[in-house]
Amino acid sequence: MEPELKIALYQPDIAGNVGTILRLGACMGVTCAIIEPCGFPFSDKALKRAGMDYAAAADVERFGDWSGFAGQARDEGRRIVLMSSKGASPLYEAEFRADDILLFGSESAGVPDHVHAACDQRIRIPMQPGFRSLNVAVSAGIALSEALRQTGQLPMEKSP
């Protein structure tokens, strides 16, 4: 099996954002990992509004906690790349690998220090001065597109 990028969400708070990211994953052919607990009851009904029927087509992995997720990532030899407004490297200077996991923190709190420290890279999306952050689903779309482009994994449409 070819290596593939993955999106991971650390304890997401907002069902609509998760639904949107599941839709992104389905459309781009990328697995989405959810690291629980979530700030909402994780159910098809909670995700359906934003994910529409795409959420049902998403490849979703669920983890009960950080240690289970991080352990699997290490067992698979994958890097965990944290997307954070406090990241050291700007997105367009980062070099992605084909099997990286792009980790996004919760909307309200990001990730705790021990998770931040455990990540292999910490990347930020450049923004205009004076702005703190983007919506997590917007950030996921921007970062995933760049990582897919760099690793030759962008889904390509054929001309009609």
- What pLDDT was estimated at residue 5? 97
- What pLDDT was estimated at residue 40? 80
- Provide CB contacts within 8 A for 71, sequence distance 6+: none
Tell me the domains of the chain and their CATH numbers. 6-150 (3.40.1280.10)
Closest C-alpha among 138, 107, 139, 109 to residue 123: 139
Instruction: Note the pTM of the prediction, 2 decimals.
Output: 0.92
Torsion angle of C-alpha atoms 121, 104, 101, 118, degrees rounded to 10: 50
- What pLDDT was estimated at residue 46? 59
- Angle subtended at Cα 87 by Cα 85 and Cα 88, rounded to the nearest 5 degrees: 140
Sign of CA pseudo-dihedral 102, 14, 87, 132: positive
DSSP annotation of 78: P
- Tens digits of residue pLDDT in 58-80: 899 999 999 999 999 999 999 99
